[in-house]
Structure 1
């Protein structure tokens, strides 16, 4: 089997709530996603999606996905998409870094492999380790009372895990954490996610002020070293996200006892091939993961669901159903939230069919 063409479309993903806000005043109102199709001479087409969280979150941005695809796609024409190790070696040799650009190409090849094998991707990633995956809900940064009110609403939809967007003024963040923890059930999980937004001094103040609460502290500061400094000052469970960008960072964090949990974002690490490697290393090391991505719609949500479903429940801290945040359906067959859970399709590949007729003209077509 050989790759014969790679096509990409730009797709807008508006939000139901109108705006998603996080640390340092960052926000997005309409997400800019790229949907990728890889065609083969066997008549099998694989699909994937990549959607950076704006341009101020990680070293990634929406137009960079498409620019990078223009660079990488010609190198993959003629390659065997089911030879995933070689696909990744070719991409890494052709373009240093930029894992988020490589991710949709890798994922589309997994979709092809599943379709060729007649198996869902989760079986190729290790098989079903859980039948349904617990979801968390991200709570956009607002005033403490508004955030607490949203948590109450989402609790009614079945969510029991909540990721609170903090990383602003330390006093305001302390109030946000306290207001939200107060309305939750004792069994509910609350994560205070600063998204690198605090200085070390601010983070030290916050973790001291909430030391009496049942709350997880996530990515308080911009650098690994600053985060480890804060970890040493708190007994709260500690999550690392933005600074765990690949296997080497994960190995360092494990060796230095830098975290209790990681957020494993599939596009941040370069796709399912490398995410699976990191997932298996976490499982072997006893580290739970939130399995997710930077953002996305139906195809990203399906990809998350397959990796999460193949992860043992005790190591799958939570996952994300991004398609429930938006107003636009971009594929049929995607997972749907039911009482705070989702599951991956049993159909071959990712199990989704993109609604290509709604995308408009392609922005890239390489043969």
Structure 2
């Protein structure tokens, strides 16, 4: 089985929350995804995806151009079922996970379809049938964030990520105190700063709210600053923005830099490196959250498969990324979300997503073997 044709699509994703605050660009109103369609000589087709949203280093035009170069130069004509060989070829380009993620996911999709098995069986078998969800609460006025939590609580969510760091520190204090002071006993909160505080600002704020119960996520931009802060606070530390690879996870664990991590499927380069990072972090006793820089049902399905094959005592949560947008690319309603949990509708092979090619629009790049 050989790769015959790869088609790349670029889609805009309108945000259902109106606006979302990201690391560099607060108040963005839409994200973008690059969807990778890999077709084999025998007719099997696999799909993958890489998301892009303001402020991250993987803007979609860059993903498109770099992915097309990587695929045309090094990956055409290979057997997509040989995911280790595919990953080895891509690993020779250091970093740049976003340009690898979609192709890696598509190869795993084909591997599962080739043996008529769901992805979670390719990953060693599921350890749970459903995965817990967190809901991200965009940076707004404190009273609006309180209302957002109430609304999502009514939908069954019990884990909330508060986005702060896009205003003055007094405003952040009010947001944190205003929301988490109303925390219920069965709820877990994470305050995600996306690296926007200096160490002194983080110390000031966290001392002011030291009686509240939450995990602090990426308070400062560098791992070194977060480690410095970690030695002086009592809140659990989660790292996110500063983790971009398996090596970053190994370094964070070796330096006792955190208690839990976020594995961003796109940033890490797809399913192959994400599962390695997962297993290393699990062996080290770190808590795991799976996330993505936006996506459709394609990415969400991959997150479910990763979540279901994670040790239950290590998995904290994942995200129903497709529900943050009105765009849908699936025809088979592959994902069920209910009462703060998410699972797959059935055990369809591969990712389990039947993609509507018409929903993808016009191709941005078409690469054919031998052309």
Which bracket does the TM-score occupy, shorter chain normalised?
over 0.9
Q: Shift in Å at residue 206 of structure 1?
A: 1.4
What is residue 286 of structure 1 aligned with on the other side?
285
In structure 2, what is the Cα distance between the partners aligned to 1:32 and 1:294?
9
Residues 7-50 of structure 1, C-alpha deviation per residue, up to 9 Å, x if partnerless?
01111111112111245652321111111100011211000111
Q: Shift in Å at residue 272 of structure 1?
A: 0.5
Given that 1:191 and 1:216 are in contact with CA atoms closer than 8 Å, whether structure 2 keeps it comes out as: yes
Q: Shift in Å at residue 349 of structure 1?
A: 0.1
What is residue 15 of structure 2 aligned with on the other side?
15
Question: Tell me, what secondary structure is at the counterpart of 2:129?
Answer: coil
In structure 1, what is the Cα distance between the partners aligned to 2:180 and 2:22?
19
What is residue 242 of structure 1 aligned with on the other side?
241
In structure 2, what is the Cα distance between the partners aligned to 1:84 and 1:235?
42
Given that 1:332 and 1:355 are in contact with CA atoms closer than 8 Å, whether structure 2 keeps it comes out as: yes
In structure 1, what is the Cα distance between the partners aligned to 2:300 and 2:276?
20
Given that 2:33 and 2:50 are in contact with CA atoms closer than 8 Å, whether structure 1 keeps it comes out as: yes
Residues 98-155 of structure 1, C-alpha deviation per residue, up to 9 Å, x if partnerless?
1110011011000000001211111111211111101000000011110111000000
Residues 285-313 of structure 1, C-alpha deviation per residue, up to 9 Å, x if partnerless?
11111012111111111111111111122
Question: Tell me, what secondary structure is at the counterpart of 1:358?
Answer: helix
Given that 1:24 and 1:167 are in contact with CA atoms closer than 8 Å, whether structure 2 keeps it comes out as: no
Match for residue 146 of structure 1 among 132, 144, 147: 144
In structure 2, what is the Cα distance between the partners aligned to 1:365 and 1:31?
22
In structure 1, what is the Cα distance between the partners aligned to 2:41 and 2:22?
44
What is residue 45 of structure 1 aligned with on the other side?
45
In structure 1, what is the Cα distance between the partners aligned to 2:227 and 2:64?
35
What is residue 110 of structure 1 aligned with on the other side?
108
Given that 1:159 and 1:340 are in contact with CA atoms closer than 8 Å, whether structure 2 keeps it comes out as: yes
What is residue 163 of structure 1 aligned with on the other side?
161
Question: Tell me, what secondary structure is at the counterpart of 1:37?
Answer: strand
In structure 2, what is the Cα distance between the partners aligned to 1:332 and 1:184?
38
Given that 2:161 and 2:190 are in contact with CA atoms closer than 8 Å, whether structure 1 keeps it comes out as: yes
User: What is the TM-score with the length of structure 1 in the denominator?
Assistant: 0.96
In structure 2, what is the Cα distance between the partners aligned to 1:27 and 1:8?
28
Given that 2:230 and 2:237 are in contact with CA atoms closer than 8 Å, whether structure 1 keeps it comes out as: yes
Question: Tell me, what secondary structure is at the counterpart of 1:151?
Answer: helix
Question: Tell me, what secondary structure is at the counterpart of 2:275?
Answer: helix
In structure 1, what is the Cα distance between the partners aligned to 2:99 and 2:23?
24
Question: Tell me, what secondary structure is at the counterpart of 2:52?
Answer: coil
Q: Are residue 346 (structure 1) and residue 347 (structure 2) matched?
A: yes
In structure 2, what is the Cα distance between the partners aligned to 1:68 and 1:112?
22
> Please, which runs of 5 or more residues in structure 2 have no aligned partner?
none
Q: How many residues align?
A: 364
What is residue 362 of structure 1 aligned with on the other side?
363
The correspondence of residues 150-229 of structure 1 with structure 2, limited to 5 A, is 150-168=148-166, 169-229=168-228
Question: Tell me, what secondary structure is at the counterpart of 1:314?
Answer: coil
Aligned Cα RMSD in Å?
1.3
In structure 2, what is the Cα distance between the partners aligned to 1:171 and 1:233?
21
The correspondence of residues 84-103 of structure 1 with structure 2, limited to 5 A, is 84-93=83-92, 95-103=93-101
In structure 1, what is the Cα distance between the partners aligned to 2:200 and 2:274?
33
> Please, which runs of 5 or more residues in structure 1 have no aligned partner?
none
Given that 1:23 and 1:166 are in contact with CA atoms closer than 8 Å, whether structure 2 keeps it comes out as: no
In structure 1, what is the Cα distance between the partners aligned to 2:112 and 2:338?
25
Q: Shift in Å at residue 358 of structure 1?
A: 2.2
Q: Shift in Å at residue 336 of structure 1?
A: 2.6
In structure 2, what is the Cα distance between the partners aligned to 1:254 and 1:115?
35
Given that 1:144 and 1:180 are in contact with CA atoms closer than 8 Å, whether structure 2 keeps it comes out as: yes
In structure 1, what is the Cα distance between the partners aligned to 2:42 and 2:25?
48
What is residue 31 of structure 2 aligned with on the other side?
31
